[in-house]
Protein backbone atom coordinates (compact mmCIF):
# COMPACT_ATOMS: atom_id res chain seq x y z
CA UNK A 1 0.00 0.00 0.00
CA UNK A 2 1.30 3.44 -0.89
CA UNK A 3 2.47 5.63 1.99
CA UNK A 4 -0.19 8.27 1.34
CA UNK A 5 -2.87 5.62 1.06
CA UNK A 6 -1.72 4.09 4.37
CA UNK A 7 -1.95 7.55 5.97
CA UNK A 8 -5.53 7.91 4.75
CA UNK A 9 -6.44 4.46 6.08
CA UNK A 10 -5.00 5.39 9.50
CA UNK A 11 -7.06 8.59 9.41
CA UNK A 12 -10.26 6.68 8.60
CA UNK A 13 -9.63 4.26 11.46
CA UNK A 14 -9.06 7.14 13.87
CA UNK A 15 -12.30 8.85 12.76
CA UNK A 16 -14.42 5.81 11.95
CA UNK A 17 -17.85 7.18 12.87
CA UNK A 18 -18.60 8.14 9.29
CA UNK A 19 -21.38 9.48 7.07
CA UNK A 20 -22.60 7.15 4.33
CA UNK A 21 -24.20 9.11 1.47
CA UNK A 22 -26.20 7.56 -1.37
CA UNK A 23 -28.73 8.62 -3.99
CA UNK A 24 -32.24 7.25 -3.45
CA UNK A 25 -35.12 8.08 -5.78
CA UNK A 26 -33.10 10.94 -7.21
CA UNK A 27 -32.34 12.53 -3.84
CA UNK A 28 -29.24 12.38 -1.62
CA UNK A 29 -29.71 10.48 1.64
CA UNK A 30 -27.24 9.98 4.46
CA UNK A 31 -26.77 7.88 7.56
CA UNK A 32 -24.22 8.22 10.38
CA UNK A 33 -22.62 4.87 11.09
CA UNK A 34 -19.52 3.30 12.69
CA UNK A 35 -17.35 1.65 10.07
CA UNK A 36 -14.61 -0.97 10.15
CA UNK A 37 -11.74 -0.23 7.74
CA UNK A 38 -10.13 -3.43 6.46
CA UNK A 39 -7.04 -3.69 4.25
CA UNK A 40 -6.65 -6.77 2.08
CA UNK A 41 -3.36 -6.41 0.25
CA UNK A 42 -3.69 -3.17 -1.74
CA UNK A 43 -7.48 -3.23 -1.44
CA UNK A 44 -9.46 -1.26 1.15
CA UNK A 45 -12.87 -2.47 2.28
CA UNK A 46 -15.37 -0.72 4.56
CA UNK A 47 -17.87 -2.77 6.55
CA UNK A 48 -20.74 -1.88 8.85
CA UNK A 49 -24.51 -2.08 9.13
CA UNK A 50 -27.62 0.07 9.32
CA UNK A 51 -31.13 -0.57 10.64
CA UNK A 52 -33.37 -2.48 8.25
CA UNK A 53 -36.00 0.18 8.96
CA UNK A 54 -33.70 2.69 7.25
CA UNK A 55 -34.58 2.41 3.57
CA UNK A 56 -31.10 3.59 2.54
CA UNK A 57 -30.05 -0.08 2.40
CA UNK A 58 -32.24 -0.43 -0.69
CA UNK A 59 -29.59 1.57 -2.59
CA UNK A 60 -26.97 -1.13 -1.93
CA UNK A 61 -25.75 -3.18 -4.89
CA UNK A 62 -26.61 -0.25 -7.13
CA UNK A 63 -24.81 3.02 -7.74
CA UNK A 64 -21.62 4.30 -6.18
CA UNK A 65 -21.90 5.73 -2.66
CA UNK A 66 -19.72 8.15 -0.71
CA UNK A 67 -18.43 7.59 2.83
CA UNK A 68 -17.16 10.74 4.59
CA UNK A 69 -14.71 10.47 7.48
CA UNK A 70 -14.63 13.85 9.23
CA UNK A 71 -11.67 14.83 11.36
CA UNK A 72 -10.51 17.88 13.32
CA UNK A 73 -11.20 21.38 12.01
CA UNK A 74 -10.50 24.95 13.09
CA UNK A 75 -11.34 28.55 12.32
CA UNK A 76 -8.28 30.47 11.13
CA UNK A 77 -8.18 34.16 12.00
CA UNK A 78 -6.62 36.56 9.48
CA UNK A 79 -4.71 38.03 12.42
CA UNK A 80 -2.30 35.10 12.03
CA UNK A 81 -1.16 36.34 8.62
CA UNK A 82 1.60 38.83 7.88
CA UNK A 83 -0.47 40.74 5.33
CA UNK A 84 -3.31 42.87 6.67
CA UNK A 85 -5.27 42.32 3.44
CA UNK A 86 -6.39 38.85 4.48
CA UNK A 87 -9.68 37.15 5.25
CA UNK A 88 -10.80 34.38 7.64
CA UNK A 89 -10.85 30.75 6.54
CA UNK A 90 -11.27 27.26 7.95
CA UNK A 91 -8.69 24.48 8.10
CA UNK A 92 -9.86 20.87 8.26
CA UNK A 93 -8.97 17.23 7.69
CA UNK A 94 -11.29 14.69 6.09
CA UNK A 95 -11.22 11.61 3.88
CA UNK A 96 -13.76 10.68 1.19
CA UNK A 97 -14.12 7.03 0.14
CA UNK A 98 -16.16 6.01 -2.91
CA UNK A 99 -17.45 2.60 -3.92
CA UNK A 100 -20.52 0.43 -4.44
CA UNK A 101 -21.84 -1.00 -1.14
CA UNK A 102 -23.01 -4.59 -1.23
CA UNK A 103 -25.79 -5.70 1.12
CA UNK A 104 -25.30 -8.36 3.78
CA UNK A 105 -28.61 -9.82 4.95
CA UNK A 106 -29.34 -12.10 7.90
CA UNK A 107 -29.83 -14.97 5.44
CA UNK A 108 -26.12 -14.64 4.59
CA UNK A 109 -25.30 -15.98 8.03
CA UNK A 110 -21.55 -16.37 7.63
CA UNK A 111 -21.02 -12.90 6.16
CA UNK A 112 -23.31 -11.32 8.77
CA UNK A 113 -21.52 -12.99 11.69
CA UNK A 114 -18.13 -12.03 10.26
CA UNK A 115 -19.15 -8.39 9.86
CA UNK A 116 -20.50 -8.19 13.42
CA UNK A 117 -17.37 -9.88 14.80
CA UNK A 118 -15.20 -7.26 13.08
CA UNK A 119 -17.26 -4.44 14.60
CA UNK A 120 -17.01 -5.96 18.08
CA UNK A 121 -13.27 -6.60 17.74
CA UNK A 122 -12.77 -2.99 16.61
CA UNK A 123 -14.89 -1.14 19.16
CA UNK A 124 -15.12 -3.40 22.23
CA UNK A 125 -13.29 -6.75 22.01
CA UNK A 126 -14.28 -7.68 25.56
CA UNK A 127 -17.95 -7.65 24.54
CA UNK A 128 -17.35 -10.63 22.25
CA UNK A 129 -17.75 -13.14 25.08
CA UNK A 130 -21.02 -11.55 26.18
CA UNK A 131 -22.37 -11.43 22.63
CA UNK A 132 -21.52 -15.08 21.98
CA UNK A 133 -23.16 -16.12 25.26
CA UNK A 134 -26.51 -14.53 24.41
CA UNK A 135 -29.32 -16.87 23.35
CA UNK A 136 -29.11 -17.74 19.67
CA UNK A 137 -32.74 -16.74 19.09
CA UNK A 138 -32.00 -13.30 20.59
CA UNK A 139 -28.97 -12.78 18.35
CA UNK A 140 -30.80 -13.96 15.28
CA UNK A 141 -33.65 -11.59 16.05
CA UNK A 142 -31.25 -8.66 16.25
CA UNK A 143 -29.59 -9.65 12.98
CA UNK A 144 -33.00 -9.71 11.29
CA UNK A 145 -33.33 -6.03 12.21
CA UNK A 146 -30.18 -4.86 10.43
CA UNK A 147 -28.65 -4.89 6.96
CA UNK A 148 -24.89 -5.06 6.76
CA UNK A 149 -22.74 -3.69 3.98
CA UNK A 150 -19.35 -4.28 2.44
CA UNK A 151 -17.95 -1.43 0.36
CA UNK A 152 -14.77 -2.09 -1.65
CA UNK A 153 -13.13 1.32 -2.03
CA UNK A 154 -12.73 2.28 -5.67
CA UNK A 155 -11.51 5.83 -5.04
CA UNK A 156 -10.00 7.46 -1.96
CA UNK A 157 -9.50 11.20 -1.51
CA UNK A 158 -7.67 12.97 1.29
CA UNK A 159 -9.18 16.39 1.90
CA UNK A 160 -6.54 18.13 4.06
CA UNK A 161 -6.77 21.92 4.04
CA UNK A 162 -3.93 23.09 6.26
CA UNK A 163 -2.95 26.51 4.90
CA UNK A 164 -0.93 24.99 2.04
CA UNK A 165 -1.49 28.17 0.03
CA UNK A 166 0.23 30.37 2.64
CA UNK A 167 3.88 31.18 3.20
CA UNK A 168 5.92 29.12 5.64
CA UNK A 169 5.87 32.06 8.05
CA UNK A 170 2.07 32.28 7.91
CA UNK A 171 1.73 28.52 8.36
CA UNK A 172 3.98 28.67 11.41
CA UNK A 173 1.91 31.48 12.89
CA UNK A 174 -1.38 29.66 12.24
CA UNK A 175 -0.03 26.39 13.65
CA UNK A 176 1.18 28.11 16.83
CA UNK A 177 -2.12 29.96 17.31
CA UNK A 178 -4.18 26.78 16.87
CA UNK A 179 -1.89 24.70 19.07
CA UNK A 180 -2.55 27.07 21.99
CA UNK A 181 -6.36 26.78 21.77
CA UNK A 182 -8.46 25.08 24.44
CA UNK A 183 -10.57 23.08 21.96
CA UNK A 184 -8.97 19.62 21.31
CA UNK A 185 -10.19 19.63 17.71
CA UNK A 186 -8.46 22.96 17.09
CA UNK A 187 -5.21 21.89 18.76
CA UNK A 188 -5.23 18.69 16.66
CA UNK A 189 -5.20 20.80 13.49
CA UNK A 190 -2.37 22.89 14.92
CA UNK A 191 -0.40 19.75 15.79
CA UNK A 192 -0.87 18.34 12.27
CA UNK A 193 0.42 21.58 10.81
CA UNK A 194 3.39 21.67 13.19
CA UNK A 195 4.31 18.08 12.35
CA UNK A 196 4.28 18.90 8.64
CA UNK A 197 6.46 21.94 9.17
CA UNK A 198 8.84 19.97 11.36
CA UNK A 199 9.51 17.13 8.91
CA UNK A 200 9.23 19.31 5.83
CA UNK A 201 6.34 17.39 4.27
CA UNK A 202 3.41 19.02 2.55
CA UNK A 203 -0.01 17.96 3.84
CA UNK A 204 -2.25 16.03 1.48
CA UNK A 205 -4.36 18.53 -0.45
CA UNK A 206 -6.56 16.24 -2.49
CA UNK A 207 -4.58 13.02 -2.59
CA UNK A 208 -6.64 10.85 -4.93
CA UNK A 209 -6.00 7.12 -4.94
CA UNK A 210 -8.01 5.24 -7.54
CA UNK A 211 -8.15 1.48 -7.62
CA UNK A 212 -10.23 -1.23 -9.18
CA UNK A 213 -12.75 -2.28 -6.58
CA UNK A 214 -12.27 -5.87 -5.49
CA UNK A 215 -14.96 -8.18 -6.81
CA UNK A 216 -17.58 -8.77 -4.14
CA UNK A 217 -17.76 -12.32 -2.85
CA UNK A 218 -20.59 -13.26 -0.49
Helix 184-199 and helix 168-179: axis angle, to 10°?
140
For residues 31 and 50, the answer to whether their CB atoms sit within 8 Å is yes
Q: What is the CATH number of the domain that holds 32?
A: 2.30.110.10
Is 95 a member of any domain? yes
With a cut of 70, which residues of the chain have pLDDT below it?
A: 1-3, 201-218
Domain of residue 11, residue span:
3-73+90-164+204-210
Please tell me the distance from the alpha carbon of residue 59 to that of residue 103, in angstroms, as a whole number. 9
3-state secondary structure of 103: strand
Burial class for 28, CB neighbours closer than 10 Å (0-12, 13-18, 19+)? exposed
Q: Could you give the number of structural domains in the chain?
A: 1
Is 185 a member of any domain? no
Is 180 a member of any domain? no
Is 131 a member of any domain? yes
- pLDDT recorded at residue 215: 35
- pLDDT recorded at residue 210: 43
Is 125 a member of any domain? yes
- pLDDT recorded at residue 202: 62
- The reported pTM is 0.88
- pLDDT recorded at residue 144: 97
Q: Which residues contact 61 (CB under 8 A, 6 or more apart)?
A: 100, 101, 102, 103
- pLDDT recorded at residue 213: 35
- pLDDT recorded at residue 3: 55
Is 79 a member of any domain? no
Please tell me the distance from the alpha carbon of residue 21 to that of residue 176, in angstroms, as a whole number. 35
Burial pattern 36-55, b for ≥16 Cβ within 10 A else e, equals bbbeeeeebbbbbbbeeeee
Max Cα-Cα span within the chain: 68
- pLDDT recorded at residue 209: 46
Is 197 a member of any domain? no
Is 115 a member of any domain? yes
3-state secondary structure of 99: strand
Burial class for 102, CB neighbours closer than 10 Å (0-12, 13-18, 19+)? buried
Q: Which residues pair with 82 in a beta bridge?
A: none
Amino acid sequence: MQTESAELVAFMRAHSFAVLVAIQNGHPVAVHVPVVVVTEGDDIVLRGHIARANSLWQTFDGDEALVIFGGPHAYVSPSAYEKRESVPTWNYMAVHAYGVPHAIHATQASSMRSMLAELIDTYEPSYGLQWNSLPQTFREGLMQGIVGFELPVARLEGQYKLSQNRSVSDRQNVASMLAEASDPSVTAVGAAMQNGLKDGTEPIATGVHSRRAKDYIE
